[in-house]
Amino acid sequence: MSVYKKMIKCLKDKDLSAYLDLLHKDFIFVRHQMGESVPKKEWEVTVTGMFNAMGEGKLTFSENRCLYENNDILVMHNMGSFPDGSKEAIMAVHTVKDGKIIRTESGATPIK
């Protein structure tokens, strides 16, 4: 199964454990807004909150699309609806190593 299909299944099932299993042990999330790189252990805290919010129906990701995928990269686009009522168009670029996501960079555009 492709990394994209696994990612979508994690989001659909709200399965945090399966999502974390997609991440390489050396995973880094790049936060351009703050100019920092977050290692997997710190990202787990953030993403746990996100999955909890999804389970409560406060956070949703819809219109998921795979723009490109091969053995080295996955480029995705989706729409996020957040607990504060805001919505964003989200582009995420996942670098893949050994079948796992080793680096994620994303950008978002607010939607009115």
Q: Any idea where the domains of the chain sit in the sequence?
A: 3-111
pLDDT at site 112: 81
Reported for 79-82, long-range contacts at CB under 8 A and 24+ positions apart, including other chains, are: 79/111, 80/108, 82/58
pTM for the model stands at: 0.91
Distance CA 91, CA 98 (A): 23
pLDDT at 98 over 90: yes
Can you tell me the mean pLDDT for 38-65? 95
Q: What is the CATH number of domain 3-111?
A: 3.10.450.50
pLDDT tens-digit readout, 61-77: 999 999 999 999 999 99
The DSSP line for 6-42 is HHHHHHHHT-HHHHHHHEEEEEEEEETTTTEEEEHHH
45 is written with which tokens?
A: 């805290």
**How high is the pLDDT of residue 41?**
96
